[in-house]
Chains A and B, each alone.
Chain A
Amino acid sequence: MKNKIKEIRNKHGLTQEELANRVGVRRETIIFLEQGKYNPSLKLAMDIAKEFKIKVDDLFFY
């Protein structure tokens, strides 16, 4: 599964550390997510989407 986390995070001017703190995960998890090496749980996916005020569908795609 691919995602646009890095792109949208940069648009919002957030660092990986800041995003990690906001959604309650470690920075390494954000790195793995951005590299497409980890598929998040539904809760984390929704938390990230909520943080960016977009739909989950707009953030993750096949």
Chain B
Amino acid sequence: MTLKKYQRIRLAFTAIIAVIFSYSIIMENFFIPIVTLLVSTLILWYLRKKVSGVIADERDWQAGGKSALMTIQIYSWIAVMAMFLMYSFRDINLYYESVAITLAFSTCILMLLYSLIFKYYNKIKLTDKKTLYFVITTIILVIMFLLTLRIFSGEDNWVCSDGQWIKHGQPDYPAPQIECQ
């Protein structure tokens, strides 16, 4: 497979993922985008191996490193400013607080992850296949663990409060018919 063909396929996959993500957010279904992302990653990983030419070289890696650092810095600044803004307006809309907390945590995780990778990048060879498989397997296991927790947590149900059944989360069944006491 030629490099141009691979790049076209990758672009098409990106567009498809974006459409599926948007649709899934509207439909409040989060399993489809996760599955799509995993399947697309695997397909692209397989196709990448079939490309005969050089996909990326040292100039790309150099530019990639600088771009990644710049992206993290820009995102962190925007996220922190947005977080303070959202948090200060939490009285106007309750959802603003959740958004602010999400932004704060995502920034912290991003910076922590970057620091960890930067510290251990030269010590652990990420290009080594065994290490790479270990990292990928760990990420998949963590995702599966979190999904399992979310599915079996029992958080999506009906709660009895002041004689009324109130939705807790997104239960996929109607409110109980028995009297709420």
Q: Which A residues are within 8 Å of any B CB, using their own CB?
A: 20-21, 24-26, 28-29, 32, 38, 40-41, 43-44
Bound together, the chains give a CA A44 to CA B62 distance in angstroms of 13
Interface residues of B in 52-105 (CB under 8 A from A): 53-54, 56-60
6 A-B contacts (beta carbon < 8 Å): A21-B53, A21-B54, A28-B59, A29-B57, A29-B58, A43-B58
In the complex formed, the residue of A with least CB distance to B57 is A25
Of B54, B58, B60, the residue contacting A20 (CB under 8 A) is B54
A41 touches B53 (CB 8 A): no
Q: Which residues of B contact A20 (CB under 8 A)?
A: 54
Establish whether residues A25 and B53, one from each chain, have CB atoms under 8 Å apart when the complex forms. no
**With A26-B53, A43-B58 given, can you name 16 additional A-B contacts, CB distance below 8 Å?**
A21-B53, A21-B54, A24-B54, A24-B57, A25-B54, A25-B57, A25-B58, A26-B56, A26-B59, A26-B60, A29-B58, A29-B59, A32-B59, A38-B59, A41-B58, A44-B58
- Whether B58 lies near A40 (C-beta < 8 A) is yes
Task: Kindly list chain A residues whose C-beta atoms are within 8 Å of the C-beta of B53.
Answer: 21, 26
* Chain B, Cβ-Cβ closest to A32: B59
Least distance between B145 CB and chain A CB atoms (Å): 40
B10: min CB distance to chain A, Å: 16
Q: Which residues of chain B are within 8 angstroms of A28 by Cβ–Cβ distance? A: 59
Q: Which residues of B contact A26 (CB under 8 A)?
A: 53-54, 56-57, 59-60
